[in-house]
A and B are shown apart, each in its own frame.
Chain A
Amino acid sequence: MKRNPIAITIGILLLLIFLLMFFFFQVRITEVAVVTTFGQPTRDVVNPGAYLRLPPPIQQVYKFDRRIHNFESQFEQVFTSDGHNLLMRVYVGWNIAQPKLFFPRFADSVSEFEKALAGLVRNAYIGVAGSHPFAHFISTDERQLRFEEIEREILQKLQSDVTSKNYGVDVKFVGIKRIGLPESVTKLVFERMQSERQLLVRRIESEGRREASDIRSEANLQSSKLLAEAEAEATRIRGQGDRQAAVSMHVFQQDPELATFLIQLRALEEFLKSRATLILDTQTFPLNLLKGSSPSTSTAPKISPK
Chain B
Amino acid sequence: MSNGLDLLEPKRRTEPQGPPESPEDPGSEALSDALKSSFAIVRVVLVILVLVFLGSGFFTVGPHEKAIILRLGKPVGKDDKALLGPGPHWAFPYPIDEVVRIPVTQAQTIRSTVGWYSTTAAMEAVGTLPPATESLQPATQGYVLTGDGNIIHVRGDLRYRIAEPGLTYALGFANASNLVLNAFNNALIHASASYTADNVLSRDVAGFREKVRQRLEAAVARQNLGIVVDQVDVRAVAPLKLTEHFAAVSGAEARRAKEVTEARSYANELVNRARGEAAIRIGAGETDRTRLVEFVSAEATRFKGLLPEYEKDPELFRNLRRSETLQRIFTNAQQKIMMPPGVQRRIQIGRDPDPIKPLTPPRVEGH
One of A35-43, A119-127, A159-167, A215-223 at the interface: A215-223
- With contact pairs A276-B332, A279-B345 given, residues A200 and B259 touching in the complex (Cβ less than 8 Å): no
* B246 contacts A by Cβ under 8 Å: yes
Partner of B277, one of A183, A211, A227, A266: A227
* A105 contacts B by Cβ under 8 Å: no
A181 neighbours in B (Cβ, 8 Å): 138, 145, 151
A141-181 interface (Cβ within 8 A of B): 141-142, 145, 147-148, 172-173, 175-181
Residue of A nearest to B186 (CB): A175
**Pair A230/B278 contact, Cβ less than 8 Å:** yes
Count residues of A near B (Cβ-Cβ below 8 Å).
132
- With contact pairs A49-B73, A49-B74, A259-B303 given, residues A208 and B189 touching in the complex (Cβ less than 8 Å): no
A69 neighbours in B (Cβ, 8 Å): 173-175
**Pair A223/B271 contact, Cβ less than 8 Å:** yes
B138 neighbours in A (Cβ, 8 Å): 75, 87, 180-183
Contact with B along A254-283 (1 / 0, CB 8 A): 110111011101101100111111111111
B70 neighbours in A (Cβ, 8 Å): 28-29, 48
* B206 contacts A by Cβ under 8 Å: no
CA distance A1 to B18 in the complex (A): 14
Contact with A along B242-274 (1 / 0, CB 8 A): 100110110111011101101110111011011
**Pair A219/B21 contact, Cβ less than 8 Å:** no
Residue of B nearest to A283 (CB): B341
* B306 contacts A by Cβ under 8 Å: yes
**Pair A205/B245 contact, Cβ less than 8 Å:** no
B322 neighbours in A (Cβ, 8 Å): 265, 297
Return B148 CB to nearest CB of chain A, in Å.
6
* B363 contacts A by Cβ under 8 Å: no
Partner of B328, one of A211, A261, A269, A287: A269
B194-214 interface (Cβ within 8 A of A): 194-197
**Pair A31/B290 contact, Cβ less than 8 Å:** no
CA distance A269 to B352 in the complex (A): 22
Interface residues on B, range: 35 or more
**Pair A14/B332 contact, Cβ less than 8 Å:** no
B274 neighbours in A (Cβ, 8 Å): 222-224, 226-227
CA distance A141 to B306 in the complex (A): 95
**Pair B2/A50 contact, Cβ less than 8 Å:** yes
* B183 contacts A by Cβ under 8 Å: yes
B23 neighbours in A (Cβ, 8 Å): 1
CA distance A257 to B185 in the complex (A): 106
Return A112 CB to nearest CB of chain B, in Å.
16
* A10 contacts B by Cβ under 8 Å: yes
* B178 contacts A by Cβ under 8 Å: yes
One of B50-58, B84-92, B229-237, B281-289 at the interface: B281-289
Residue of A nearest to B223 (CB): A173
**Pair B332/A272 contact, Cβ less than 8 Å:** yes
**Pair B281/A29 contact, Cβ less than 8 Å:** no
* A6 contacts B by Cβ under 8 Å: yes
CA distance A127 to B1 in the complex (A): 52
CA distance A141 to B263 in the complex (A): 38
Return B310 CB to nearest CB of chain A, in Å.
5
**Pair B337/A238 contact, Cβ less than 8 Å:** no
- With contact pairs A180-B145, A261-B321 given, residues A193 and B74 touching in the complex (Cβ less than 8 Å): no
CA distance A180 to B335 in the complex (A): 102
A-B residue pairs in contact (CB < 8 Å), sample of 27: A7-B17, A10-B11, A26-B95, A29-B73, A50-B2, A68-B172, A69-B175, A91-B182, A91-B186, A176-B186, A189-B151, A193-B245, A198-B248, A204-B256, A205-B256, A216-B267, A223-B273, A226-B277, A226-B278, A254-B307, A277-B335, A277-B337, A278-B335, A279-B347, A281-B338, A282-B338, A297-B322
Nearest 7 CB-CB pairings of A with B: A241-B289, A234-B285, A208-B256, A230-B278, A219-B267, A223-B274, A140-B147
Contact surface of A with B, Cβ cutoff 8 Å: 1-4, 6-7, 10-11, 13-14, 16-17, 20, 26-31, 47-50, 65, 67-70, 72, 75, 87, 91, 93, 137-142, 145, 147-148, 172-173, 175-184, 186-187, 189-190, 193-194, 197-198, 200-201, 204-205, 207-209, 211-213, 215-216, 218-220, 222-224, 226-227, 229-231, 233-238, 240-242, 244-245, 248-249, 251-252, 254-255, 257-259, 261-263, 265-266, 268-269, 272-283, 285-287, 295, 297, 301, 304, 306
